[in-house]
Amino acid sequence: MSTPKSSSPLAANPPSWLGVMGGGQLGRMFAQAAQSMGYQVAVLEPARDCPAGQVAQRLVQAGYSDAAGLDALAAQCVAVTTEFENVPADSLSRLGQQVFVAPDAHGVSVAQDRIAEKRFFVGCAAKSGVLPAPHKVISSETDIASVGDELLPGILKTVRMGYDGKGQVRVRSREELHAAFHAMGQVTCLLEKMLPLAYEVSVLTVRGADGQSVVYPIAENVHRDGILFTTTVPGPNITAECAAKAQAAARAIVAELGYVGVLCIEFFVLADGSLVVNEMAPRPHNSGHYTIDACVTSQFAQQVRAMARLPLGEVRQHSPAVMLNILGDIWFEGDSEQPREPAWDRILGLPGACLHLYGKDDPRRGRKMGHLTFIAATLEEAQDQLHAACLILGIAP
C-alpha cells in the first residue's frame, strides 16, 4: 500500500493554486469546479488550444515529461492531480517530491498497465470479494501456443494506452488470436476470456487523505462501438444485493490501493447475477458526469476536495438521471462532410436538459464533444426526454 507524499498536513484553502496534468474536457470540468470553490487553476498540457486551458488561469504549455514544465507547475501549486491515466508515473513522482499529488504515481501506474491492474485485482480479491475475468499475458508466439481452450473466445487487449474501444480485438480462435497479435505489432497484450455479460456498471468512489471514502450510486452503462453511449443512474437492472457488493468491493479496492482522489471502477454483471471487476480509471470518469447535475457533490468537486485535503462531500443523488455522450457525428448530416451546428435550442427546450459542451471547435466523427444529462422526478421521465433528444439529434436511441 502506498500513501501520497504530503507537503503539509493542512488543507489547501482557496484562493490557493491547484494544478492538473492534462488539458482535456475532464481537466476543464475540474477547473470549473475548483474555480467555483475559490481556487485558481494551472494546467500542464502540450497543446496550446485545449479545453482545460481555455478556462484555467494559467496554461503551462509543456510535455508531460518536461522537467521545466513540471517544476513550474509545482512552484505555482499547492497540490496537483491528473485528468487522464496515461500521464507518466515518473512525472507524478517528480511532482510528489515538491507538492501534494493525488492520485499518486503508484495508483496511476497500476491503473495504466493492464497486467499490473489484473494482478492487483487478484491480490486484493480476498478483501474485495470480486475477481477479474480469466486472462493470460500474451507476449510471444509461445504464449499463443499455450493458450487454453477455455480462454477462447476472448478479447485481446494491448497492455497500455487502450481506451474507448481502442487497442482491443475480439478473437474466436487461436488463428484469429495469432492474426490479432501480429496486427497489434506483437506488443505485449492481455487475452481476457469473453464472459456471458448481462450489463456493465461503474462504481465511482472517492477517498480522502485521511482514509475516509464515499461511494456514489451505481451507474449502468451502454456502449456503442467501444465508446460510452449512455449512463443511467440509478442502474435500472442491478439488484440491491449486487449494488451493495459492488460498492463494498470499490471501498476495499480504493483502500488497498492506498489511493487518494476519484477512482472509477467498472464491473461486469454476468447473466447469472455474479460480479466481475473489469478495470479502473484513476480520475473522474465519463460515466460520472451525471453527478454535476444530479448529485449534491459532483465528481469534480470531490476531486478538488480530495487533492486539497478537505472533507469529502455528500454523494446523495437528488434526481434520477440519464447521460448521453455527444460525439462529433451529430454535426454531420448523412454522408456529408460539411459540419453544421446541432439544434441546441430544441434540445434546451426539453424538460430537465443539462447541456455541457467542451469547447472543441473541430467536430470529428467519434470525437467526444460534450455530454447531455437529463434529470427528472422519475427515471422514466428522464429516459423519455433522452429519447426525444436522440430524435432531434439524429441518434438512434
Tens of pLDDT, residues 212-230 = 999 999 999 999 988 999 9
Domain assignment present for 119: no
**Is 220 part of any known ligand binding site?**
no
Domain assignment present for 120: no
pLDDT score recorded for residue 164: 56
CATH code (residue 162): 3.30.1490.20
Q: How confident is the model at residue 4 (pLDDT cuts 50, 70, 90)?
A: very low
Q: Do 162 and 309 have their domain in common?
A: no
Output DSSP code: residue 124. Answer: T
For residues 390-396, average pLDDT = 96
**Is 185 part of any known ligand binding site?**
no
Q: How confident is the model at residue 166 (pLDDT cuts 50, 70, 90)?
A: low
- Pick from 176, 193, 210: which residue ends a domain? 193
**Is 245 part of any known ligand binding site?**
no
pLDDT score recorded for residue 11: 84
CA 30 to chain centre: 13
Q: Tell the burial category of 372 from Cβ atoms under 10 Å away from its Cβ (0-12, 13-18, 19+).
A: buried
Q: Do 184 and 319 have their domain in common?
A: no
Q: Do 148 and 180 have their domain in common?
A: yes
In angstroms, rounded to a whole number, what is the distance separating the alpha carbons of residues 200 and 225? 15
**Is 334 part of any known ligand binding site?**
no
Q: Do 224 and 277 have their domain in common?
A: yes
Give the strand order in the sheet containing 189-193. 135-138, 189-193, 154-158, 168-171
Q: Do 222 and 355 have their domain in common?
A: yes
pLDDT score recorded for residue 334: 85
Q: Is 127 helix (H, G, I), strand (E, B) or coil?
A: helix
Question: Which residues make beta-bridge pairs with 197?
Answer: 270
In angstroms, rounded to a whole number, what is the distance separating the alpha carbons of residues 355 and 339? 19
- Pick from 193, 214, 244: which residue ends a domain? 193
40-49, 107-116, 152-161, 314-323: segment of lowest average pLDDT: 152-161
Taking CA 195 as the corner, what is the angle to CA 193 and CA 201, rounded to the nearest 5 degrees? 115
**Domains in the chain: how many in total?**
3
For CA atoms 73, 76, 80, 84, the dihedral sign is negative
Q: Are 356 and 370 in contact (CB under 8 A)?
A: yes
**Is 157 part of any known ligand binding site?**
yes
Domain assignment present for 7: no
Amino acid at 324: L
Q: Do 203 and 189 have their domain in common?
A: no
Q: Do 277 and 359 have their domain in common?
A: yes
In angstroms, rounded to a whole number, what is the distance separating the alpha carbons of residues 254 and 262? 9
**1 has a pLDDT exceeding 90:** no
Report the candidate in 372, 373, 371, 369 with the shortest Cα–Cα distance to residue 51.
369
CATH code (residue 91): 3.40.50.20
Q: Model confidence over 14-51: pLDDT tens digits?
A: 999 999 999 999 999 999 999 999 999 999 999 999 99
In angstroms, rounded to a whole number, what is the distance separating the alpha carbons of residues 309 and 211? 11
**Is 192 part of any known ligand binding site?**
yes
Q: Do 266 and 354 have their domain in common?
A: yes
Domain assignment present for 315: yes
For residues 129-148, average pLDDT = 94
Pairing assessment for the beta strands 197-207 and 261-270 based on DSSP bridges: antiparallel
Q: Is 344 helix (H, G, I), strand (E, B) or coil?
A: helix
pLDDT score recorded for residue 337: 86
35 CB neighbour count, 10 Å cutoff: 18
**Is 168 part of any known ligand binding site?**
yes
**Is 184 part of any known ligand binding site?**
no
211 CB neighbour count, 10 Å cutoff: 11
Domain assignment present for 128: no
Domain assignment present for 277: yes
Q: What is the DSSP string of 168-205?
A: EEEE-SHHHHHHHHHHTTT--EEEEE---EEEEEEEEE
In angstroms, rounded to a whole number, what is the distance separating the alpha carbons of residues 155 and 172? 9
**Is 164 part of any known ligand binding site?**
yes
Q: How confident is the model at residue 383 (pLDDT cuts 50, 70, 90)?
A: very high
pLDDT score recorded for residue 226: 87
Domain assignment present for 12: no
Percent of the chain with pLDDT over 90: 91
pLDDT score recorded for residue 397: 80
Q: Do 303 and 274 have their domain in common?
A: yes
pLDDT score recorded for residue 328: 97
Q: Are 79 and 95 in contact (CB under 8 A)?
A: no
Q: Model confidence over 50-61: pLDDT tens digits?
A: 999 999 999 999
**2 has a pLDDT exceeding 60:** no
Q: How confident is the model at residue 365 (pLDDT cuts 50, 70, 90)?
A: very high
Phi/psi region, residue 4 (left: phi>0; alpha: psi -120 to 50; beta: rest), is beta
**284 has a pLDDT exceeding 70:** yes
**Is 237 part of any known ligand binding site?**
no
For residues 291-306, average pLDDT = 98
Q: Do 264 and 389 have their domain in common?
A: yes
**Is 223 part of any known ligand binding site?**
yes
CATH code (residue 378): 3.30.470.20
**206 has a pLDDT exceeding 50:** yes
Backbone dihedral angles phi then psi of residue 85, each to the nearest 5 degrees:
-80, -10
**160 has a pLDDT exceeding 90:** no
pLDDT score recorded for residue 9: 55
Domain assignment present for 10: no
Helix, strand, coil percent values for the chain (each to nearest 5): 30, 25, 40
- Pick from 143, 159, 193: which residue ends a domain? 193
**Is 195 part of any known ligand binding site?**
yes
Parent domain of 79: 17-111
**Is 328 part of any known ligand binding site?**
no
Taking CA 343 as the corner, what is the angle to CA 338 and CA 347, rounded to the nearest 5 degrees? 145
Q: How confident is the model at residue 163 (pLDDT cuts 50, 70, 90)?
A: low
For residues 377-382, average pLDDT = 98
Annotate 169-178 with b (16+ C-beta within 10 A) or e (fewer).
bebeeeebbb
Q: Do 336 and 205 have their domain in common?
A: yes
Annotate 135-165 with b (16+ C-beta within 10 A) or e (fewer).
bbebeeeebbeebeeebbebbbbbbbebeee
Q: Do 154 and 216 have their domain in common?
A: no
Tell me the average pLDDT of the chain: 94
